[in-house]
């Protein structure tokens, strides 16, 4: 490549008006670019990186979120920018706004009380109307740099406690022939999705074993065999680096290959939806908790049919 086509970080700052802190944040946290490194470890950007930085800058101004933009390629970003206005996000319920205010003010004791008091009718409602909006709110606060990593950890812990306390209210399973296990793949510590799924499964009266986050595929397979799992639910939230798609596919391949043919494997989470090539007769993607809930109802119906036979 011609050296004239490469730009130092200073030149990129001058051309785009974006600060060094922001450029590095987009690179490190969102994998937005991978600048070439000189021998002295200085970053050199290509023309396409500058174009992407400009697109990101303009779309962020329109109200889009960096987490969403970072998953798009240049062509998709351009298309989005040509749309007249940003998606209008639904208004958050009042109690969620109050909770997010307490989080951003770091009023942890008040937050604890408020989260404990949250009322809900069904577990699906708790997940979709309260847990997911809280997570989304936390994620927006982090993106807007209103929360530090430590504060994000604390907020996530309170959300986790709420899910745990809902799990504790559930009686032991009566439908013993359906046994789920819930996990996230190795290196993925985002467990709020699978923990919520574990709660929802239990609320339908099924057995569920919470294996938890960061589970090596060998351990998952071994657990599935010992527990005689009938269903495995794997949620993947993170895409850490280039090639991690392949890692996830390999992970799934191991789990599929080494578990009984009758075991149904569900994959969920923001990253799993891009893995359409993973879908086989045994692997079923789940887009949402509402879909998981419908699936759980279907399992119940087919059990009843089998009992009648």
Q: Which of residues 161-200 bind ligand B12 (CB under 6 A)?
A: 187-194, 197
Is 270 a binder of ligand B12 (CB under 6 A)?
A: yes
Q: Does 238 bind ligand B12 (CB under 6 A)?
A: yes
Rounded Cα–Cα distance for residues 246 and 84 (Å): 36
Span between the terminal Cα atoms of the chain, in Å: 70
The reply on whether position 268 binds ligand B12 by CB under 6 A is yes
Binding mask 3-42 for ligand B12 (x = CB under 6 A): --------------------------xxx-----------
Q: Is 137 a residue that touches ligand B12 (CB under 6 A)? A: no
CB of 88 to ligand B12, least distance (A): 17
**Is the CB of 31 or the CB of 46 nearer to ligand B12?**
31
**Whole-number minimum distance, CB 170 to ligand B12, in Å?**
17
Dihedral sign computed on CA atoms, order 141, 145, 147, 152? positive
Sign of the CA dihedral with 153 first, then 143, 84, and 270 last: negative
Q: Which of 162, 179, 217, 239 touches ligand B12 by CB under 6 A? A: 239
Q: Is 205 helix (H, G, I), strand (E, B) or coil?
A: coil
Q: Tell which positions 113-132 bind ligand B12, by CB under 6 A.
A: 132
C-alpha 66: how far from its chain's center? Answer: 14
Q: Which of 35, 137, 185, 269 binds ligand B12 (CB under 6 A)?
A: 269
Q: Name which position in 156, 173, 223, 300 contacts ligand B12 (CB under 6 A).
A: 156
How far apart, in whole angstroms, are the C-alpha atoms of residue 245 and residue 247?
5
Is residue 145 close enough to count as binding ligand B12 by CB under 6 A?
no
Is 104 an interacting residue with respect to ligand B12 (CB under 6 A)? Answer: no
- Report the C-alpha gap between 208 and 76 in whole angstroms: 39
Contact 223, 194 (CB under 8 A): no
To ligand B12, the closest distance from the beta carbon of 176 in angstroms equals: 22
Closest of 274, 203, 267 to residue 235, by C-alpha: 267
Q: Which of 179, 172, 237, 239 is nearest to 208 (CA)?
A: 179
Residues touching ligand B12, count (CB under 6 A): 34
Strand pairing category for 231-235 and 264-268: parallel
Q: Specify whether the CB–CB gap between 283 and 265 falls below 8 A.
A: yes
Q: Does 151 bind ligand B12 (CB under 6 A)?
A: no
What tokens were used for 69? 């933009």
The stretch near ligand B12 (CB under 6 A) out of 79-87, 218-226, 274-282, 283-291 is 283-291
Interacting stretch for ligand B12, rule CB under 6 A, among 5-13, 39-47, 168-176, 231-239? Answer: 231-239
Are 274 and 245 within 8 A, CB to CB? Answer: yes
Q: By the criterion CB under 6 A, which residues form the site for ligand B12?
A: 29-31, 67, 132, 135, 138-139, 142, 152-153, 156, 160, 187-194, 197, 233, 235, 237-239, 268-270, 286, 288-289, 292
């Amino acid at each position: 490549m011609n050296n004239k086509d490469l730009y130092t970080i200073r030149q990129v700052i001058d051309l785009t008006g974006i600060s060094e802190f922001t450029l590095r944040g987009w690179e490190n946290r969102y994998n937005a670019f991978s600048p070439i490194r000189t021998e002295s470890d200085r970053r050199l950007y290509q023309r396409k990186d500058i174009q992407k930085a400009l697109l990101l800058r303009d779309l962020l101004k329109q109200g889009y979120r960096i987490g969403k933009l970072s998953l798009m390629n240049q062509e998709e970003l351009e298309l989005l920018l040509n749309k007249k206005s940003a998606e209008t996000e639904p208004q958050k319920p009042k109690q969620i706004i109050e909770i997010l205010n307490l989080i951003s003010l770091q009023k942890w004791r008040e937050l604890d009380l408020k989260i404990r008091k949250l009322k809900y009718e069904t577990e699906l409602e708790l997940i979709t109307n309260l847990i997911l909006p809280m997570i989304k709110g936390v994620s927006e606060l982090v993106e807007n740099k209103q929360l530090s990593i430590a504060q994000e950890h604390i907020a996530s812990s309170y959300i986790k406690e709420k899910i745990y306390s809902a799990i504790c209210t559930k009686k032991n399973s009566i439908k013993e022939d359906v046994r789920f296990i819930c996990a996230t793949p190795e290196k993925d510590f985002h467990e709020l999705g699978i923990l919520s799924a574990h709660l929802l499964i239990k609320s339908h009266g099924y057995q569920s074993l919470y294996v938890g986050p960061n589970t090596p595929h060998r351990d998952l397979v071994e657990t599935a065999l010992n527990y005689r799992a009938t269903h495995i639910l794997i949620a993947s939230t993170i895409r850490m680096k280039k090639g991690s798609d392949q890692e996830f596919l390999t992970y799934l391949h191991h789990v599929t290959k080494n578990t009984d043919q009758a075991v149904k494997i569900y994959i969920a989470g923001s990253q799993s939806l891009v893995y359409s090539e993973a879908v086989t007769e045994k692997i079923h993607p789940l887009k949402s908790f509402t879909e998981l809930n419908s699936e759980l109802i279907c399992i119940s119906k087919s059990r009843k049919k089998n009992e009648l036979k």
